Structure 1
Amino acid sequence: MGALLLWAGATSAATSVLIWPIDPVIEAEQKAGALWLENRGNEEANLQVRIFAWRQGGFDDQYQNQRDIIGSPPLAKIAPGQKQLIRLTRTGTSPVGQEQAYRIIIDEIPPALPPDTADKPQAAIRFQMRYSVPLFVYGQGLWGKADPSGQRSDAGVGKPQLSWRQVSAQGRSWVEIRNTGPVHARLTDVVMQQGGQSRPLVEGLLGYVLPGATMRWPAPLQASASTALKGRINGGDAAQTIAQGQ
């Protein structure tokens, strides 16, 4: 189980919200999933929870309103030291053998300014934190994760199928990564290796490539036929080599 810390606040105080799990899924046999929010700060946290359909096109993330997955409650008022369960409920049936991607957007709602300070310039320095949590939902015949209880076969766990190429566009060189597999790829610690050189595309998390999508990032090297692209996929312990495509 993972957790991330949100920090937000106004000029004189801060709240911190712990969110877990950071990689929620709704498997084929499940009608709902869960997301927990915990207020680790010393002031009340007011949060708005929204869920958007997530697509990729034109080498960019795209979000649309949807009603397939409902987050309840949509507004959470959490006292210091308390937790709130957000139930993620599937309203219909997901397509067989497919993964559907969503983004859970959590916004902190700043408290109203006291009337006697609303017109003071320093009171305008306020922060609103937004955090985006990926959610993946599966239809029958496809699993997102291995089952630690052993009640279902690991053979149904989907794996991305990745390939890459270097292209020139807009006066720059790019690495394009394509995913033809049935599930997403979460890419971290991705490097280009050529000769004795090893250059990261970015440090740490590179991003996601959803099924059927192609995403691109600036290339740190000029690639050749001998260039290798390696990185960790979906939290794997070891780096994998991504095949070079056409």
Structure 2
Amino acid sequence: MTGFLHIVYSAFTIVFLATTLQANSTIVPVIVDVEASGRGVVEITNLRTQPTLYNIEVLKWAVVDGVDEYEDTRLFIVSPPSFKLHPGKSKKVRLRFRGKRGTPSEQTFRLIVAEVPSEVKKAAEGTSTLDVTLRHVLPVYVAPQTPGGPKLSWTITTQGDTATLRATNSGNQRATVVSVGLHPNPNQENTPVYANNSLAHVLAGSWREWQVKLPEGMLPGKAVYKLTGLNQTYQLANHE
């Protein structure tokens, strides 16, 4: 069986917004694109009512057999790697990439921002609680020598009442998939049935899979996925 894949996406990034990742802090930007100089910067603001300690680190990020993997790296210098912010105050964190630039494919990392409240909050008379550490995880990208964007190809397999959609990225930059779903019947524009937890990054040279539970009597027809911004249609090959 073959069908059609309809996509909405921006070539290789999510819409850039200054976003509050948690009610306790804002971190801007939420995607770090390292400049040609090898430098990047994020600004962190403490929205808590008490001082907060921030610990910053960068990890190497890869997607292996559809799963995120992280490992320590010394390719980034973070300044400062740890600091305290008083309520309402902001701090810029500067990143310097000291690895090889201009590689064939985009290099991918994760910026880990751990926020640790420095004061105990009184939960009730005679008791107290300590806020747990919150970890924010932001993508960090080092551009390839010749940016070419993502090149996604899709396949579908079915087993019982479950369809599995796989996206393989043969391009040299990431694609960020916002949602993945299937229309109930071929050649119809019905409301799609979407996979749970659709949001995922398909890094250069990697693949991701999504599973869609098929309602009784449903035929996997057109498949729909969204990134942001640009409409395209792809032939969807079935490899059962």
TM-score by length of 2: 0.77
Deviation at 1:171, TM superposition (A): 9.6
Deviation at 1:223, TM superposition (A): 5.9
Aligned counterpart in structure 2 of residue 126 of structure 1, from 128, 131, 150:
131
3-state SS of paired residue (1:109): strand
Deviation at 1:111, TM superposition (A): 2.2
1:97-147 Cα shifts (integer Å, max 9, x gaps) = 320011111111232659xx9xx99435532211110111013232xxxxx
Aligned residues: 214
Q: Which amino acid aligns with 2:20?
A: L
1:157-211 Cα shifts (integer Å, max 9, x gaps) = x3211122223589954221111111101011333223334112237x6211111
Partner of 1:85: 92
Distance 1:40 1:168, change over 3 A: same
Q: Within 5 A, what are the aligned runs for 1:73-222?
A: 73-111=80-118, 122-124=127-129, 126-142=131-147, 158-167=148-157, 173-193=163-183, 194=185, 195=188, 196-202=190-196, 206-221=199-214
Q: Which amino acid aligns with 1:177?
A: A
Identity rate, percent: 23
Partner of 1:12: none
Partner of 1:145: none
Ranges in structure 1 where 5+ consecutive residues have no aligned partner: 9-15, 143-157
Partner of 1:17: 25
Distance 1:186 1:78, change over 3 A: same
Conserved? CA contact 2:105–2:204, under 8 Å: no
Distance 1:212 1:79 in 2: 43
Aligned counterpart in structure 2 of residue 244 of structure 1, from 222, 226, 236:
236
Q: Which amino acid aligns with 1:139?
A: P
Q: Which amino acid aligns with 1:210?
A: L
Conserved? CA contact 2:51–2:118, under 8 Å: no
Deviation at 1:231, TM superposition (A): 2.6
Q: Which amino acid aligns with 2:222?
A: A
Deviation at 1:95, TM superposition (A): 4.4
Partner of 2:12: none
Distance 1:169 1:104, change over 3 A: farther
1:67 to 2:60 alignment: no
Deviation at 1:242, TM superposition (A): 4.5
Distance 1:243 1:53, change over 3 A: farther
Conserved? CA contact 1:162–1:242, under 8 Å: no
3-state SS of paired residue (1:123): strand
Q: Which amino acid aligns with 1:24?
A: V
Conserved? CA contact 1:230–1:240, under 8 Å: no
Conserved? CA contact 1:166–1:219, under 8 Å: no
3-state SS of paired residue (1:41): coil
Distance 1:44 1:125 in 2: 13
Conserved? CA contact 2:154–2:167, under 8 Å: yes
Which structure is higher in strand share?
2
Ranges in structure 2 where 5+ consecutive residues have no aligned partner: 1-15
Q: Which amino acid aligns with 2:63?
A: Q
3-state SS of paired residue (1:219): strand
Conserved? CA contact 1:17–1:38, under 8 Å: yes
Higher relative contact order (CA 8 A, sep 6+): 2
Q: Within 5 A, what are the aligned runs for 1:5-44?
A: 5-7=20-22, 16-27=24-35, 29-44=36-51
Conserved? CA contact 2:50–2:117, under 8 Å: no
Deviation at 1:78, TM superposition (A): 1.1
Q: Which amino acid aligns with 1:25?
A: D
